[in-house]
Amino acid sequence: MNVKKELLSIGEMAKYTNVGIQALRYYERKNILKPAYIDPDTGYRYYALEQATSIDVISTCVELDIPLKELVDLFDTEDFILLQEFFERNKKAAQKKLIAIKAMLILADKAINRMNVNKPYELGQIYTREIPEKLYHMKPCGQSLENANLKKLLIDFAEETKVNLAKYFNSENINESMVLLEYGFLRKHSLTESQYFTFSEVPKILENEKTINIPAKTYHFRKDKCRNIENANHIFKQYIGNSENYLVVEVEELISGKAKINEPIYELRLVIL
């Protein structure tokens, strides 16, 4: 009987499973998956069709960054409790991977949209555009930002916001809902005082006494490579006019299409109340 007629060559198995020949040889060296038959004369490797399922399992584990050493005894064991524990444990790993993939898809869509929105606008020039409704969670940080550690203020506030979100959403929704949301500093100006806040955009469900709703409207804005919120009165002087109550929102943008990916662009907006 010609054993090889019932088997697939290593090349055929590689093509059938979409796994490279070198990967199959690597699995063999690691004692994870041995060929069903090795020709003693030529050294050619041959695989049984049913081994494709094992290769699918191995490939999936590689995609999930599961250590291959966990698989060495897996395919030979008759301990079904061990098998069940393996799949239950790595189902959780797959779910975490899925969350990360979904977050990356959302990030990609938002980043592309942000870069497309920014294309027509030059730095240092005042423009107008329709901006959708925003809900900002805010925290007071004084009547001046002078001498303040602005990065620390934002980082601490972002962590605080994430803790608050965790009360309402599971970890998957938190990760997705926090992708490229707006954050930065906000100044409320009235006839009697001017107050600064850190802010982070949050879902509508979190509206409370610590949030402020910015309605959808056409706003004046300017983009710069440096913070300008404390100079906003001068920048928007002609648009503020005699208004006594207004907000200035300074959004810190990464992945703007106007600077390196790790260098922020600051969008300053004027909101007349």
pTM of the model: 0.71
Cα distances from 218 to residues 74, 114, 151, 221, 260, in angstroms, run 62, 17, 29, 10, 28
Q: Given this model, what pLDDT does residue 178 score?
A: 60
Ordered structural domains, the chain, with CATH: 3-76 (1.10.1660.10), 124-272 (3.20.80)
User: Which of 11, 101, 109 has its CA nearest to residue 65?
Assistant: 101
Environment class of 77 (CB within 10 Å of its CB; exposed 0-12, middle 13-18, buried 19+): exposed
- Tokens in use for 62? 């590689």
Cβ-proximal residues to 238 (8 Å cutoff; 6+ apart), any chain: none
Residue 155 pLDDT: 86
Contact 251, 184 (CB under 8 A): yes
Cβ neighbours around 145 below 10 Å, total: 18
**Local confidence pLDDT in tens for the 273 residues of the chain:** 466 778 999 999 999 999 999 999 999 998 889 999 999 989 999 999 999 988 998 988 888 888 888 888 777 777 888 888 888 888 888 888 888 888 888 888 888 998 998 999 999 999 999 999 999 999 999 888 888 898 899 888 888 887 777 776 665 555 555 667 899 999 999 888 889 999 999 888 888 898 999 999 999 999 999 999 999 999 999 999 999 899 999 999 988 888 888 889 999 999 998
- Nearest Cα to 182, choosing from 208, 140, 212? 212
Instruction: Give the pLDDT confidence score for residue 184 in this predicted structure.
Output: 94
CB within 8 Å of 110: residues ≥ 6 apart:
179, 180
